[in-house]
Amino acid sequence: MIKETRHQTETKLPGSREIAALREHFPACFKEDGFFDMERFRELLSGKLPFARESYGLKFPGKDYARLLASLATATVIVPDEEHNTRPENAGSENIYISGDNLDGLKHLLKSYARSVKCIYIDPPYNTGSDGFVYNDTFNFSAKELSEKLSIGEEQARCVLDLAKRGSASHSAWLLFIYPRLLLARNLLTDDGVIFISIDDNEQSNLKLLCDDVFGEENFIGVFPRVTKKGGKSSGGTAKNHDYVTAYSKKPDGADLVGLTHDDAGYNNKDAYFGERGYYKANQTLDYNSLRYAASLDYPITIEGETFIPGGDWDRYKRRQKGLHGRADWAWRWSKDLFEFGLRNGFIEIHRGGARPRIYTKTYQKVTIKKSGEQYRVVAIDRIKPMSTLEFTGNKYSNDNAKKALELVMPKGVFEYTKPPALIAQLIRLVNGDGFIVLDFFSGSGTTAQAVLELAAQDEKNCTFIQVQLKEPVKPGSIAANAGYGTIDEIGRERIIRAAKAIREENPHMASLDLGFKHYTLAAPSWNTPERPEAFDPSDHSSAAPGLLAGFGKTAVLATWMNHDGYGLAARPQEIVFEGCPGYFIGKHLYLPDERLTGEVIVSILVKIEADGAFYPENVVFLGYNFPQAEREALQTRLSCLKNLRVSLDIRY
């Protein structure tokens, strides 16, 4: 696969994916010389789609370069953590943790999880100037190469490369960093999927415009302010104590959101005669000042011989009856017919003890009053309510509680800038359904994973998580370093392990919960790789393949191959031994990453294909360096002779 990666690195241009889609769906618009005929395209869409002569959108230096980075194939290999992955709690887990650059991680995930992730939450760097964000990519394009790929002058190309490599924390550098990641993330979302992004004022306005570009302005769901702390840093007479969660869907009206279950706060009263309605709370006084005055809502009410009027002032009531009213609050909220129905059916009560007796309406947990035609009825209600955009303004979702939640499972002070599990759990609750994938590719301390596990333990959602976190070193001399942690991903993985342990101890009856995870590291070969395409030599049998196996091992080659072919990172292939050489069979593929590919091994494979009806690999995959050209041709000849079977060789480098 190194060979294929090299080819893609050399040939990819910005918009390659979009051009491929146009070729697939509008082949008539491409001329013989390869140019796209825009006028022909307009004709095909005439009358169906309005065209704009001018456009509005976010522009920044390096935007095309960012699109190019999203298009390039990754040269990294997926290396399983075998010791961790074979532990009993992890061996059968569907949860995934990836240590590595999230740009590479997203590209690997797209091989198996494209259009499969229903919920994404990310907490990217805020670019505050103090959060450590400095963009500095590792791609090694020359100014000449980049100018050719982007169709720009070499001087402009040098400016883009300078922005990408000098270690910048500017707005343009932040956009250049986040843009390719959002482009890839969109392709991971299901058609009804949603992405939530935490951000603050430093980049919130830019993020909104960028998401309009990536997801479409029509797919904007909302911005949820979140309280960060009760007292923020004062600047010019103001204290900053909030940030935001920005939400977008994959397609217009496509987000499958259901709102939240009522938390039943305030439902403390129980009726003797209406117990089946659940608990109730006194809602508001019937004359609460929320309506404009209307004569039809200004009427006397007599209950048990006592007469009530809106506002309780009889002198004003008499003047109102004469048309002399001057205030808009002295009217009932309910019409006379609705009130009489509510009184007969237990939705009214009188509160005494204040300055005067007051009539209150009652709100029940399970029922409400609904009008059908001219009649009122008591009907059952859905326990779901829309989530307010002000949901996260309570202290429950603040950084103070994020810190407390982390310190319940981890040493004090090992991680800064974390979010509370309650925030992410509430966002996941908003997404309809169960059993979907929750992705976080800025995993940090592992908050998202903990939220997913806790929701499963509460029997609310039984989702799986995928976490991606860069192996970013902790600061020397920091609390994390002194506690023995070398990188941020180590902290995240340890938090998940400890949170899972706490959940098991609190819920011993839920032994079937998937509280483990499989761990993989993304590693780049240090020899003869497409990181330097001009130095890669696929004919150099002495270094590329032996190094791949020796450097990463058979399990890494196998994991990378299976993920590339769409089987995912939790796949468990069947191991079959052919004359002492193990093969790995799953779906339509037989993988042979071993170096011992003798003629006897090949014969054994052919015999099993012919004799075993359940064993039918359509593709036999092996490292080309392990198999001389003559033997490959002989095997292909034998495969072509198999009756009624079509088995192809897939040679990878």
Q: Mean per-residue pLDDT for 227-252?
A: 84
The answer to whether the CB of 65 falls within 8 A of the CB of 160 is: yes
Give CA–CA dist 73/108, Å, rounded: 9
Give CA–CA dist 193/117, Å, rounded: 7
Q: Is the model more confident about 599 or about 650?
A: 650
Is 532 a residue whose pLDDT tops 70?
no
Count, residues in the chain:
653
pLDDT band at residue 542 under the 50/70/90 scheme: very low
pLDDT of residue 290: 56
Q: Mean per-residue pLDDT for 590-612?
A: 83
Is 23 a residue whose pLDDT tops 80?
no
Is 537 a residue whose pLDDT tops 70?
no
Q: Is the model more confident about 585 or about 44?
A: 585
pLDDT of residue 255: 86
CA separation (Å) from 643 to 150, 358, 614, 621? 50, 89, 15, 20
Helix axes 599-611, 629-640, angle to 10 degrees: 20
pLDDT of residue 191: 94
Is 545 a residue whose pLDDT tops 50?
no
Strand order in the sheet with 220-227: 77-80, 518-523, 96-99, 464-469, 437-440, 117-122, 189-199, 242-249, 220-227
pLDDT of residue 163: 82
Is 326 a residue whose pLDDT tops 90?
no
pLDDT of residue 20: 73
Tell me if residue 568 falls in helix, strand or coil: coil
Q: CA angle, corner 71, sides to 448 and 107, nearest 5?
A: 35
Give CA–CA dist 184/164, Å, rounded: 19
- Which of these, 31, 27, 26, lies nearest to 45 by C-alpha position? 26
- Which of these, 565, 564, 556, 554, lies nearest to 597 by C-alpha position? 554
CA torsion angle 223 225 226 230 (round to 10): 170
pLDDT band at residue 529 under the 50/70/90 scheme: very low
Is 600 a residue whose pLDDT tops 70?
yes
CA torsion angle 551 554 555 558 (round to 10): 110
Question: What are 466-475's pLDDT values in tens digits?
Answer: 999 999 999 9
Question: What are 353-381's pLDDT values in tens digits?
Answer: 877 889 999 999 999 999 988 899 999 98
Question: Which of 369-373, 530-534, 555-559 comes out lowest in average pLDDT?
Answer: 530-534
- Phi then psi for residue 438, to 5 deg, are -110, 120
Domain extent listing, the chain:
56-134+169-260+389-523, 275-382, 537-652
- Using a pLDDT cut of 90, give the percent of the chain over it: 51
Question: What are 308-325's pLDDT values in tens digits?
Answer: 988 887 877 777 777 665
Is 10 a residue whose pLDDT tops 70?
no
Question: What are 201-226's pLDDT values in tens digits?
Answer: 999 999 999 999 999 999 999 999 99
pLDDT band at residue 556 under the 50/70/90 scheme: very high
pLDDT of residue 110: 97
- Using a pLDDT cut of 70, give the percent of the chain over it: 86
pLDDT of residue 325: 57
Q: What is the mean pLDDT of the chain?
A: 86
pTM of the model: 0.81
Is 430 a residue whose pLDDT tops 70?
yes
pLDDT band at residue 410 under the 50/70/90 scheme: very high
Q: Mean per-residue pLDDT for 102-113?
A: 97
Q: Is the model more confident about 626 or about 166?
A: 166
Is 270 a residue whose pLDDT tops 60?
yes
Q: Mean per-residue pLDDT for 512-521?
A: 96
Q: Pick from 44-58, 71-85, 122-136, 326-340 the range whose average pLDDT is largest.
A: 71-85
Is 422 a residue whose pLDDT tops 70?
yes
pLDDT band at residue 131 under the 50/70/90 scheme: confident
Is 8 a residue whose pLDDT tops 60?
no
Instruction: Please state, as a whole number, how many other Cβ atoms lie within 10 Å of the Cβ of residue 153.
Output: 11
pLDDT of residue 491: 98
Half-sphere CA count of 19, side-chain side, radius 13 A? 13
pLDDT of residue 636: 67
Instruction: Please state, as a whole number, how many other Cβ atoms lie within 10 Å of the Cβ of residue 143.
Output: 18
DSSP one-letter code for 388: P
Q: Pick from 127-141, 349-363, 536-550 the range whose average pLDDT is largest.
A: 349-363
Q: Indicate the CATH number for domain 56-134+169-260+389-523.
A: 3.40.50.150
Question: Which of 8-12, 16-20, 368-372, 412-416 comes out lowest in average pLDDT?
Answer: 8-12
Q: Mean per-residue pLDDT for 150-167?
A: 82
Is 41 a residue whose pLDDT tops 90?
no
pLDDT of residue 544: 43
pLDDT of residue 647: 77
Question: Which of 11-15, 38-42, 130-134 comes out lowest in average pLDDT?
Answer: 11-15
